[in-house]
C-alpha cells in the first residue's frame, strides 16, 4: 500500500500539483447550481452594495462592487425569472487595460482562448469551466473592461423570457386604442 502511495505522490510531483476537481464558484457559491436568493446573499455578504434589484421590468440586479472586488465598479447579476437560476454575472472595471485581470484569471484558470478583433485592443479572452463561460473583454464605447461569467443554457432562457415579455408589451400596446 505504501508503494502505491509513493507512486501516486511521484506522479503528482512530476505532472504538477494534483488538484481536486472543484465547481466554478463566485463568492463561495457554485455558479452551475445556484439560485438568485443564494447568490444575492453571498454577494451582499462579500461587501457589494445593492443599487437595483431585478424585477418585472428589470432583467438584472446592479451592485456597487468596489468593496467586493478591487478595481471593479459594478456587478450585474441576471437570473431566469421562471425558476430563479443563475444566468450571468458581469463585473465592470473603469479601465481599458485588461492585463492585471488577465494575469489573475490566467493564474486561476490557465491559458485563455483568445478571439482576435478588428484591432489588437478588441481581443477577447475566454475560458470554459464546469459549463460556465468566462469572458474578459474591453468595451471601448464605454471606456470599461468587462469580466463575465455566463451559464449559456440559462442565459438563452433569460433572453427568451425577455423577448417574450417585449412581444407581449408590444401586443398589449397595439391592442390598446383610445379611438
pLDDT tens-digit series, residues 134-149: 999 998 888 899 999 9
% pLDDT > 70, the chain = 83
Whether residue 127 contacts residue 112, with contact meaning beta carbons closer than 8 Å, is answered with yes
Domain boundaries, the chain: 23-175
In sign, the C-alpha dihedral spanning 92, 95, 98, 100 is: negative
In this predicted model, what pLDDT tens digit does every residue of 93-150 receive, in sequence order? 998 889 999 999 999 999 999 987 777 667 899 999 999 999 999 988 888 999 999 9
Q: Mean pLDDT over all residues of the chain?
A: 85
Average pLDDT over residues 10-17: 41
Q: How many CA atoms lie within 13 A of 161 on its CB side?
A: 21
The secondary structure element, H or E, covering residue 29 is strand 29-30
Q: Give CA–CA dist 137/126, Å, rounded.
A: 9
Note the pTM of the prediction, 2 decimals. 0.81
pLDDT score at 178 = 63
12 pLDDT above the threshold of 70: no
Q: Residue range 31-46: average pLDDT?
A: 96
Amino acid at each position: 500500500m505504501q508503494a502505491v502511495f509513493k507512486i501516486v505522490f511521484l506522479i503528482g510531483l512530476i505532472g504538477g500539483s494534483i488538484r481536486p476537481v472543484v465547481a466554478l464558484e463566485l463568492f463561495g457559491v457554485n455558479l452551475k447550481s445556484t439560485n438568485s436568493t443564494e447568490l444575492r446573499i453571498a454577494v451582499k455578504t462579500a461587501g457589494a452594495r445593492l443599487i437595483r434589484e431585478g424585477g418585472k421590468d428589470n432583467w438584472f440586479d446592479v451592485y456597487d462592487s468596489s468593496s467586493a472586488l478591487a478595481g471593479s465598479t459594478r456587478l450585474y447579476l441576471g437570473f431566469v425569472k421562471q425558476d430563479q437560476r443563475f444566468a450571468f454575472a458581469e463585473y465592470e472595471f473603469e479601465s481599458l487595460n485588461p492585463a492585471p485581470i488577465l494575469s489573475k484569471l490566467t493564474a486561476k484558470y490557465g491559458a485563455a482562448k483568445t478571439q482576435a478583433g478588428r484591432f489588437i485592443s478588441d481581443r477577447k479572452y475566454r475560458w470554459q469551466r464546469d459549463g460556465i463561460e468566462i469572458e474578459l473583454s474591453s468595451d471601448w464605447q464605454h471606456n470599461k473592461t468587462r469580466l463575465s461569467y455566463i451559464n449559456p443554457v440559462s442565459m438563452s432562457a433569460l433572453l427568451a423570457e425577455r423577448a417574450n415579455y417585449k412581444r407581449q408589451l408590444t401586443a398589449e400596446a397595439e391592442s390598446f386604442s383610445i379611438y
